[in-house]
Amino acid sequence: MRAEIDDVIGSRPVSLADRDKMPFTDAVLTETLRAGNIAPFALPHTASYDVNWNGYLIPKGATIWPCLDSVMNDDDMFTDPEHFKPERFLDSEGKRLGNEKSVISFSLGRRVCLGESLARMEMFLFLVTIIQRFELKPSPTHRIPSLHGVVGTAHAPRPYHLCAIERT
């Protein structure tokens, strides 16, 4: 990713126009949203009538909490979902496959987060600027934390220490 950032942007400030020229960086962001999904559940829904689904009765009035985590970690949708693999969103030539809509971190349909486009743009700008300006390394005096964070109404990473070394 750093090589792509250095090749496309160099030392100038990043712009949103650069995103189309940076498929691997975009794939890293998409995989981060999939693997590091902070919202395990979407907004609740209420069944407006009795529904039989896969042999289960969902009665009228029942509250349904869509589990986004089950989708993001479904091995029918994502091969080896427990591994961080940005290349799952790229073809053999490194171009976007167009399958990033399968990542539903912001939910989908009528209840999709209205801030999704803005969030994705800001994530791109922040990530590229940080990688462009700093080398990130684990702290030499602290252990690298588990990738399994704390699960609750939101997923949160366990506390960790990181060294940000300015690039010259």
pLDDT at residue number 63: 96
22-46 per-position pLDDT tens digit: 999 999 999 999 998 888 888 899 9
The two tokens of residue 60 are 């009228």
What span, in angstroms and rounded, lies between the C-alpha atoms of 137 and 167? Answer: 12
The two tokens of residue 57 are 């009765």
Closest C-alpha to 106, from 90, 117, 122: 117
Helix, strand or coil, per DSSP, at residue 53: strand
CATH number among 3.90.420.10, 1.10.630.10, 3.90.1640.10, 3.40.50.300, domain 2-41+67-166: 1.10.630.10
88-147 per-position pLDDT tens digit: 999 999 999 988 888 999 988 888 899 999 999 999 999 999 999 999 999 999 888 777
163 marked among binding-site residues:
no
Closest C-alpha to 144, from 154, 157, 156, 155: 157
pTM, full prediction? 0.87
